[in-house]
Structure 1
C-alpha cells in the first residue's frame, strides 16, 4: 500500500530533495518499496580513483586475513601458547576476520563495478553479522579482562578460575550474546518503512543510517539501540575498567621492578586493543547532533570496520615475546621441511 505524500515526515522529504545525483531521483508517487540501498560514503570519489581505493582496501583485507589466521595457527600448533589467554585471543582473531569479511568484500565489489549499491536483503544480512561480531567482540574483551584479573590478582586460583570448564562456556557466551543482540536489532529493522528513500550516508548497512531515512516510527528501534549501548557497550567497558583497577592495585604491590614490567606487559596489548576498539566505536555511533561531514563520516566508518581488525594481531604479536618466539619456531620448522 502506498504512503500518501502528506504523511511522510518533512525531514524525509527534505532529505530526498537534497540527495546527490549519484542515482536517478526517486518518484515517491510511483515507488514506495525499497529493493536496494545506495551508499553515499564513496560517491564523491572520481571514477579514476576507484582503482586506487580498490587496491588500498584489498591490501588492508589481505593483511587482516593473514595476520589473524597466522595468529590462530600459531596458537594451535605451539604448545607454549596453550593457555587461557591465548585461547581467548584466538577467538578474538576469528571475530576480527569475520568482522572485516562482512564489510570489505562488498566495498571491494562496489569499487570494482563502480556501483555503490546493496540489495535490501543483503543489507539486512550485512547489518546482522556486523552487529553480531561487534557485540561478541565487546563481550570477549570483557572476558579477556577477567582472565588478566585472575592471572594477576588470583594467581594461585588461576588454573581453577580459567579451567576448560569455565573458559569454553565464556567464549561461547560471548558469541551467543552478540548474535542475540544483533537478531533483535535486525528483526526490528525489517519492520521499518522507507517510502522509497534509499540513500545511506555510510559505507555499510547499520542501524543508525537506516533510521535516518525511515519514514515509519523508529521509537522502538532507538530504544533498543540505547539499551544495547548500555548492556553491550558501556556494561563490558565498565567491567574492564573495574578489572584493571584491581589489576593496577595488585601490580603496585609487587616489589620487584622486573615483576611489575612483566605484569604490565601482559596487560598492555589488551588495553591498547580495548582503547582502539571502543574509541572507534564511540566515534562511529555517537555522532554530534549536527553530524559529521560525509568525508569525515566515511573515514571514521572505514577505521571502525577495517583498521581495528587489521591492527589487533600486530599489536599482540609485536608486544608479546611468546608469540614472536612461536612465529620464529614455526618459520624455522617450515624451513627445515623444505630443505
Structure 2
C-alpha cells in the first residue's frame, strides 16, 4: 500500500496511530464501519476469536494498492519495492555514511531532490526531507555533489535520527519534539501562522524541484554551488503595526560546476499593459485609416501586429453599426 497524501488503514474497533486524523472526525464517523471514503475492505479468517476487519480509505484517491503474490518476508525482492533504495530504519547495514556519500557525489541535483528520490533512499517524503536538512544545517538548493564529508556525515545522522524517532512514535506527530521544524511549518499563508522557530530563527519557503521546501535561512547556509532560478515564496513577518510580506533574498551569486550563476531573487515587475483607446465619430468617412495602421510596419512584433489587426476589426464593426443606425 502507498497511502499518498490522504490514504489510511483503519481497523474496526481500534484507533490507529494517526491521532490527528481522528481529532478531526466526529465520534459517529469513527464508529461507522466501513469508514467513509473506503476503497477496499477485507476480513481475516477467524481462527481464535472474532475476525479482524480492515479498510483502506482515501478521500482524494492519491493512494495505491497492489497485490503481490509472494511470501511476506520476500516482498521487497519484488516490484515495485525492489526498485527502491535502502530504508534508513530497517536497512541500517546498507544505509551507511559511505553509501550516502557515494550516492551524493555521483549525482548533480539539489540535495532536496536527491532525498526525495526513492531509488536512492526509501521513505523520505517532503516534510522528512525538510526536517533532516534543517537538523543537518544544509540548504535545500545546494547540489548534492558539493557537500563536504563532514556535512554528509551530519546529514546521515539527521536522516537516521528523524526517521527512527518518527517510527518509534508510530507516526504520532503530537509526540514529535517542539524544536523540530515539523511543528511550525504547516501554516504558510495563514493569518497568525508561526513565522519563527522557538529558538527565534525565521522560517521561509522556497520551491526546489517543483516542491515547496520549508527551511531556516539563518541556519541553513549555502556552502557550495546551488541551483539557479529557484522560486522564493513570501515570508510573512509580524510587525508592530501589522503584518508585512517579503521575499527572502538569496545570498550572493555562486557559480556551479557548469558555470551557471545563481540568480538573485528580485521582485518581478508587472508587464506593462498596452492600452489603446478607440474613438469612432458618427460622421467618420468609410475610408478613414486608424492611426494604429501606421504602427504595423517595420519594428512591430507579431503580437503587436495581431493586437492592432484586432483593433481595426473592432473599429470597422463600429463604423458599420454607425452606418446602420443612420
Q: TM-score, normalised by structure 1?
A: 0.28
Greater RCO (Cα-Cα under 8 Å, separation 6 or more): 1
Instruction: Give the helix-richer structure, 1 or 2.
Output: 1
